[in-house]
Amino acid sequence: MNAPIENSNFAVASRTESKRFPDGSLLVRAGTLPWTPWAMEGTRFKLLSINRSVGIYTVLLQIDPNTQTPDHHHFGEAHAFVLEGDFAYEYGTIYKGDYIVEAGGINHEPTIGENGCLLYVAFFGGISGVGEDGKPAGDIVDCEWMYRAALANGAAGHLPPPPMQERNATISAAK
């Protein structure tokens, strides 16, 4: 194993510690994060990063075998790399090792294969359910929804809190 660079100005993260560094860099030991139930039945996630200023969040997304996802709407693009398993929908079957960019503004209902699926996904803007009229409906699963869910599961310590919480914590510490 490589030794840390000796002249670093930062405290080095341990082998099991996810850590935000003063320069804004982030190291996530994803194996130490618990799985958090996600917005769709049969799914769970590990929130890796969030960028509130542009509405992007990245996750590991695990989906149970033979799951028919509900119709859902993408407000922005979703970039997915299949780490394990497969899923299928109007574009065909997406297999392990495939990368797909799902366009923003679309609705769809992927079906997960018999081995389930593990994805690395970057969501741009989030998703929601779809109403009977085919338009977005229900909760919007965005950066803040993801952060609150991960926080409630003890899986958000490596991520910055929402700006007002961060500001309030700084003010309290200064008193």
Residue 142 near residue 152, CB atoms below 8 Å: no
Query: How would residue 20 be classed by pLDDT, with cut points 50, 70 and 90?
Result: confident
State the pLDDT at residue 4: 55
State the pLDDT at residue 146: 97
Phi-psi region of 38 (alpha: psi -120 to 50; beta: other; left: phi over 0): beta
Q: Hey, is 142 helix, strand or coil?
A: coil
Share the mean pLDDT of the chain. 89
Residue 17 near residue 4, CB atoms below 8 Å: no
The CA R_g of the chain, rounded to the nearest whole Å, is: 18
- Is pLDDT above 80 for 165? no
State the pLDDT at residue 83: 98
Query: How would residue 17 be classed by pLDDT, with cut points 50, 70 and 90?
Result: confident
State the pLDDT at residue 67: 95
Q: pLDDT tens digits, residue range 91-142?
A: 899 999 999 999 999 999 999 999 999 999 999 999 999 999 999 999 999 9
Half-sphere exposure of 104 (CA within 13 A, CB side): 10
**What fold characterizes domain 32-174?**
Jelly Rolls (2.60.120)
Mark out the alpha helices in 20-159 (DSSP H runs): 143-152
- Is pLDDT above 90 for 2? no
DSSP label of 68: B
**Mean pLDDT throughout 31-37?**
96
Amino acid at 108: H
Query: How would residue 174 be classed by pLDDT, with cut points 50, 70 and 90?
Result: low
Q: pLDDT tens digits, residue range 140-160?
A: 999 999 999 999 999 999 999
